[in-house]
Structure 1
Amino acid sequence: MANRRNKTKKLLQLAKVTWKKNLYENIGFPDNYTDVTFLENLRRNVNKVEITFLSAVCGAGLVTQEICSVILFVIVFMYLHCNWIQPETVFVASSVATSIGYCAHRQVPDKGHNRLQVYAKDAKTVVIFLVFGYVLSPILHTLTDTISTDTIYAMAAFMMSVHVVFFDYGLSAAVVSSCLSLNAALFAAVCLVSRLASPFHAFVLLTCAVESFALLPLLLVQWRGSALVLVATVALTVLALLSVSLIITVIFICAALFITVVCPLWFLQWQTHKDNIYGPWDEAIIDDTHWE
């Protein structure tokens, strides 16, 4: 009887006390006790963003677009390696294309500088690169000459894969590293130049590497997510691959369709099953945006 009276007394005391979400103020309540107000602040999918199929395709197309850049560079190497084209022709064609892209990129000068200052600074950079690149091309041509060809191709393929994985596609993620991506592509180019016929061939290929992996992304960032640029890049890659191998062209088309169409469809389908919940059990986040 005494134990029953004590339990009844405790229940009556707890009934008069209001439960709070602060654990240290809930004296007498069990640690796992909650009332009906606990789930009042339950929220679902707070930061969910509705993505259309076209935007998903354009986002995935950035990966396809960078893969196309790598393939086009490799095709240039094959043409130079097999003597299917003269290095002078490649150098002139790439220089003309780069000049056109530069004019499109410099339509609006930098703030605080006039056009003459910007052009003079860029011309100085180009001259320095051409002079040092041409002078150092004999050294770079023989730098990896003693390494076997199979090892060179394996290293180049691995470095190009690193370039594609760590490339900056416009997302803030831990895996993104523009420096690592660029250095990996240039390292792959240095590996490949040792298999060319002359130092001038090496100079031309390194110039194409800088234009493809350092300058071209600066131009394409202005049209990032453009379906027209994606279609043009894929079409150019298909035409270039047709001159090399029909089987590889078919494999590339299938891979491009998988990355650009199938993966976005899977993403949109899985997006419908997203169900993130937010409530009092989450860790407290200090909002210091209003602090000075």
Structure 2
Amino acid sequence: MPQGVPPGGPKKKPWRKILYEKQAYPDNYTDHNIFLKDLKKNIDFHEVSFLEACLGANLVLQEFCTVVFFAVVYMYMVSRWIESWVLLYGMTFTGFVCFVFYRCIRLGKTPQEFTIDRKKHSLGHDVRTVLTFIAFGQLFSPVLHTLTDTISTDTIHTMAFLMFIVHLVFFDYGVPAAIVSKSVSLSAAIFASICLASRLASASEAFVLLALATQLFALSPILRNLFNHHPIITAILFLIDLHFLLLISSVGAVLFLSAVFLINLICPVLFVKYQKHKDNIYGPWDEAVVKDVDNIRF
């Protein structure tokens, strides 16, 4: 029985959702028929196919392979299987090629888009940024190298592992969600890199590892985003990681393959299977949501 209607009492006027008139109902009364009339379920629901789910999982797998690649390079450096100068030259060449490629793609924009983009990201601005990074990197590498000397190696590895998980969780995979935070994701990856850099033999090696972290976690997502994180990039990273992991440890390679199998096959299958159970309800009880926060002016 509706709240506020006494049994056997006189019939009242129907309740209306208004405030300008005194009604014979309590202030907190709501007619359940009117209340549930605005109930909606699964607004704009789109059934995801298995192929779409795999393409979405490809974004996660690509960033996971990037993290694994960084970890493999660290293991090679700490084990003295690769010289830092070889890695530095390789990074410089790869970075230069990718930068030229990136600028060429930018030049392919429409004249208006290119004019706006050139004002924000001119060639001189990019060169100054690189020189500033090199100067400050060389200056602070000795400090960063000795920053965690008093902490045990096991603790350092655990901290780096947890920070890379944070990086993967908060990374921007192109899906609007409250948990996405580019700053948190990048900060976690750089913090993990600083922790691992302190285990290297010299400050110059620490600088090379931090430069690699900057390329992988700060710059490469920009270039990969231009290609919409194409699966070919994921395949290349996967093959590189698998090759070098097999040279280090067969157990590590098996664990890596298991993680790839879980991310790119098991998770999409489960997602497609259980998406039919999605049951989001919407109604007048929901809090107001600001859809375009960037346009708010205080």
Task: Tell me which interval the TM-score lies in, with the shorter structure as reference length.
Answer: 0.7 to 0.9
Residue 46 of structure 1 pairs with residue 21 of structure 2: no
Residue 170 of structure 2 is matched in structure 1 by 166
Residue 258 of structure 2 is matched in structure 1 by 254
Residue 155 of structure 2 is matched in structure 1 by 151
TM-score by length of 1: 0.81
Give distance in 1, aligned partners of 2:288 and 2:144: 52
Considering only CA atoms, is the larger Rg found in Structure 1 or Structure 2?
Answer: 1
Residue 4 of structure 1 is matched in structure 2 by none
Distance 1:129 1:47, change over 3 A: same
Tell me the SS of whatever aligns to 2:248: coil
Q: Deviations over 1:221-246 (max 9, x none)?
A: 12234222222222222122112111
1:189 counterpart (173, 186, 193)? 193
Give distance in 2, aligned partners of 1:38 and 1:157: 49
Distance 1:125 1:34, change over 3 A: closer
Q: How far off its partner does 1:284 sit? A: 8.2
Residue 90 of structure 2 is matched in structure 1 by 93
1:102 counterpart (99, 102, 113)? 99
Give distance in 1, aligned partners of 2:81 and 2:167: 27
Within a 5 Å distance, the mapping from 1:209-248 to structure 2 comes to 209-248=213-252
Q: Percent identity?
A: 38
2:125 counterpart (101, 121, 125)? 121
Give distance in 2, aligned partners of 1:60 and 1:267: 10
* Contact residue 50 and residue 272 of structure 2 kept, 8 A: yes
* Contact residue 62 and residue 224 of structure 1 kept, 8 A: no
1:75 counterpart (72, 75, 83)? 72
Q: Deviations over 1:62-81 (max 9, x none)?
A: 22211111111111111111
Residue 134 of structure 1 is matched in structure 2 by 138
1:267 counterpart (262, 267, 271)? 271
Q: Deviations over 1:203-225 (max 9, x none)?
A: 11111111111111111112234
Gaps (5+ residues) in structure 1?
A: 1-6
Gaps (5+ residues) in structure 2?
A: 1-6, 108-113, 293-298
Residue 180 of structure 1 is matched in structure 2 by 184
Kindly tell me the number of residue pairs found equivalent between the two proteins.
276
